Amino acid sequence: MDFRFSDREEASRTEVEDFIKKELPTDWTEKNIYWPGGYGTLAEFEELNSHIERFRHRLAEKGWLTISWPKEYGGAGRTNIEQAIFHERMSYYRAPGGEVATLIGGPTIMLFGSDEMKKEWLPKIARGETRFWLAYSEPNAGSDLASIQTRAVEDGDDLIINGQKIWGTAAHVSHYAWMIVRTDPNAAPHRGITLLIVDNKSPGVTIRPLTNICGSYSFNEVFFDNVLVPKKNIVGEKNKGWYYVMVALDFERLVIPIGGFKRTFEEITQYTKETKHNGQSLSQNPLIRNKLAEIAIQIEVAYMFFWQTAWMLDKGLVPNIEASVLKLFTTQLSQKLANTGMQVMGHYGPLERESKWASLRGRVQSGYLDCISALVGAGTSEIQRNIIAMRGLGLPRA
């Protein structure tokens, strides 16, 4: 057992940190109000859009958008621990980086896609030219994802798609839908699902904005009206999409902005040191110390889950219960961090950032809203517990 990073790992950590400091504006981290675990503050990123594009381009040049991918596909051939170190530092500085294509689509294609598909998609994903959005949920298929109704019917070399997807985060700024459709309505629900890639520009695709509770336009409802998709865009085999998505969801659950928790916690801690109440710093108040210590403890535990999953991947082990534990634990932490932040800030907590009285750029109040998306997205806390219980502990199905 050795909790130290190797020299190589330390070096890669320094390299990442130097890169971020060089390539992002110095006030970036402070300005970006991204809340760890949340999906809802995308619009805030857009304000800073020109930087994002340039930064992503610089990442792609180094193969760092897809840092653990083999070099032949445009990655940097790093280990999973090194990738985890990269994500940790990136999220600590709230740096823009991966998205659905690099973090979920690409790794799934690498496991299940044909050689032709790998050659076609992986390099352009690695170059950052191709962004995906997740087209999973439907109005009547949320936690019961296998009940999706969006239909795909074969027509020569194509599929014709009809139906509706919802909660498509960033669909409006992405290029392709990473999508599941029903291809066999007569099979058991999870045996008639196909995973495929659909061009946003295809005729018949209509993207409509939905405003989230943070007041941001981060997600969409998307309609598919006789949309033609070439069969070569099917990932793996037809009707096996459910299985691929279960693996892909684990990838999604492993993408935890762990450094963001640390960063935000440090900012709240700093606030309590600098803010006086009745002549005494908030940080001297035993109740506040206790609350902050509890968050610090949970962040330490979250870090251990995080490193553990990366370490398992490097050992060739498959984290599935671990992915769910990590997701469940960190999203609950996201909410506790926001709530604790609001508690220690008192009346100043709820002020939006436009106010001259606002502290921490109002990030805690928007985080207090955004953390709700963490608890619900990528499988609710209840779905994670189902997975842990049934897949992990072998408890029987209901």
Residues at the contact surface with another protein, assessed by CB under 8 A? 1-6, 9, 81, 269, 272-273, 283-284, 286, 289-290, 292-294, 296-298, 300-301, 304-305, 307-308, 311, 315, 321, 325, 328-329, 382, 384-386, 388-390, 392-398
Shortest CB 374 distance to another protein, Å? 16
Shortest CB 284 distance to another protein, Å? 8
- What does residue 21 show for φ and ψ, rounded to 5 degrees? -65, -35
Closer CB to another protein, 187 or 318, in the complex = 318
Closer CB to another protein, 229 or 388, in the complex = 388
Shortest CB 335 distance to another protein, Å? 15
Catalytic residue among 252, 274, 300, 354: 252
Q: How far is residue 98's CA from residue 83's CA, in Å, rounded to a whole number?
A: 11
Active site residue 17: no
Please, which residues have CB within 8 angstroms of residue 69's CB and are 6 or more apart in sequence? 63, 75, 76, 77, 106, 110, 122, 126
Shortest CB 391 distance to another protein, Å? 10
| Closest C-alpha among 110, 65, 120, 72 to residue 87 | 65
Q: How far is residue 70's CA from residue 160's CA, in Å, rounded to a whole number?
A: 34
Q: How far is residue 191's CA from residue 175's CA, in Å, rounded to a whole number?
A: 28
Closer CB to another protein, 194 or 332, in the complex = 332
C-beta separation of 216 from 44 below 8 A: yes
Closer CB to another protein, 227 or 282, in the complex = 282
Q: How far is residue 381's CA from residue 115's CA, in Å, rounded to a whole number?
A: 36
Q: How far is residue 242's CA from residue 239's CA, in Å, rounded to a whole number?
A: 8
Shortest CB 107 distance to another protein, Å? 21
- What does residue 133 show for φ and ψ, rounded to 5 degrees? -125, 155
Closer CB to another protein, 4 or 201, in the complex = 4
Please, which residues have CB within 8 angstroms of residue 16's CB and are 6 or more apart in sequence? 64, 85, 86, 89, 90
Give ∠ CA 271-277-280 in degrees, rounded to 5. Answer: 90
The residues carrying an active-site annotation are 252
